[in-house]
Structure 1
């Protein structure tokens, strides 16, 4: 036996997916009563939840921008105050 609460999402998902279409139909009827024309708004396409990586691969399989990242990490451009020592003494 399966409880009704577990089956509820199976019936709600298609209804939720149809809500924009139902809204457009209702708004077209309401606008039609007033003699106006209802134009559907442009909807954004669904976005991909996986973000592409920032580094792009070249045709030969090498990663472009990799050299730039390692070179930028190797050079430290932050100014240090005069007389400050990086070594830790106990």
Structure 2
């Protein structure tokens, strides 16, 4: 048995995907009533949110000391370096 809240996304995704097409269809009808021409706007294609680093990270850079902006570990707060 599956709860309705778990099934809700299965029904919402197709509806959300159809909304831009429905909007273009309705706007086309409204523009036609006024005698104008409705041109669909260009939509940007879906982009991948993950962008891999352009330059490979060398081992020397990975072993380097942390930047001052990096958070400090709890044990290193009061350690004095000379």
Distance in 2, matches of 1:33 and 1:8, equals: 37
Q: Cα distance, 1:52 vs. partner?
A: 2.9
RMSD across aligned positions (CA): 2.4
TM-score, length-normalised on structure 1?
A: 0.59
SS in 2 for 1:44: coil
Aligned to 1:44: 44
Contiguous gaps of at least 5 residues in structure 1: 56-62, 74-86
TM-score for the superposition, normalised by structure 2: 0.64
CA apart distance, 1:3: 1.9
Which structure shows the higher strand fraction? 1
Q: RCO (CA 8 Å, sep 6+): is it higher in 1 or 2?
A: 2
**Counterpart of 2:10 in 1: which secondary structure?**
helix
Secondary structure of the structure 1 residue equivalent to 2:6: helix
Q: Which has the larger radius of gyration?
A: 1
Residue 2 of structure 1 and its aligned partner are, at CA, apart by 1.7
Q: How many residues align?
A: 63
Q: What does residue 15 of structure 2 align with?
A: 15
